[in-house]
Amino acid sequence: MQLTALLVPSLSHQLQAVQGWLDKAEAFAAARGEDPSGLLALRLAPDMFPLTTQLRFLAFQAQEPIYRLRGEAVPDALLAVRQEGRDGGEKPGTWAEARARIAEAAAFLATVGPDELDAAAGKPLAHDLPTGMIFDMTGETYVRDWALPQVAFHQMTAYALLRQAGVPLGKVDYVPHMFGYIRPGTAPAA
C-alpha cells in the first residue's frame, strides 16, 4: 500500500467519525436543555487535557503529517490550532469553534493528491517536538509510528470523554466508514 493511500483515508475516516460524535453530542446536550460548549471542559483525569484540547490536537495532528511529508514547514495558522489546544484548559473556546477545527482538517485532507505523499515514504524525516526532542525516522515510519497513533490517541480520548458524559456512542460510531463495505443482505435487522 502506498503512503498517501494509507494515511489520507485513515485520517479522513477518523475525522468523519468525530464529526458524527459531535453531532450526537450536540443533540444530547440539546435534549437536556444544555449548551454543548459545557462538554468542552470534560477531563478523564485532573492531569489530562480537556475535550477542547483533544479536538484541537486531533485537528492539528491530522494535518501536520501532510506538511511534514511534503517537506514544508507547518504553517503558523496550524501552529495556532495546536496552541489553542494547549490553552484549552483556560480558554476552552466554543462548540462551534471546536467543530470548525475538525471540519477544517477534513477539508484540508480532501486537497491531497492521490499519490502526493508516496515519494516521502523512504526519505529521512526529523520530527521535532516543542519539548526539544527530535525523532529521526523515514516518512513511512513517521506515518506508522507517530502520525496515525497520535490521531488515534486524541480521537479515542475525545470518544471516552463524550461517553463518560453520557453521549450515546457505540462502536458503530467509531467506524461508520465500514458500512460502505457491508455485503448486501448481511446487515442485522434494526
Which domains does the chain show, CATH number per domain? Answer: 3-171 (1.20.120.450)
pLDDT of residue 189: 80
Is residue 98 classed exposed, middle or buried when 0-12, 13-18 and 19+ CB atoms within 10 A define those classes?
A: buried
Is residue 105 within 8 Å of 150, Cβ to Cβ?
A: no
pLDDT of residue 133: 96
* Dist CA 91 CA 54 (whole Å): 13
Q: Cα dist. 71→43, 74, 185 in Å?
A: 35, 9, 46
Other C-beta atoms closer than 10 Å to the C-beta of 130 total: 9
Helices 148-164, 51-70: inter-axial angle, 10-degree rounding: 160
* Dist CA 88 CA 102 (whole Å): 15
Strands 134-138 and 124-128: antiparallel
**Could you tell me the pTM of the whole model?**
0.94
pLDDT of residue 36: 96
pLDDT of residue 94: 95
* Dist CA 125 CA 137 (whole Å): 5
* Dist CA 65 CA 143 (whole Å): 7
* Dist CA 179 CA 98 (whole Å): 26
Give the pLDDT means over successive 10-residue stretches in the chain (190 positions): 94 98 97 96 95 98 97 96 94 96 98 97 93 96 97 97 96 91 86
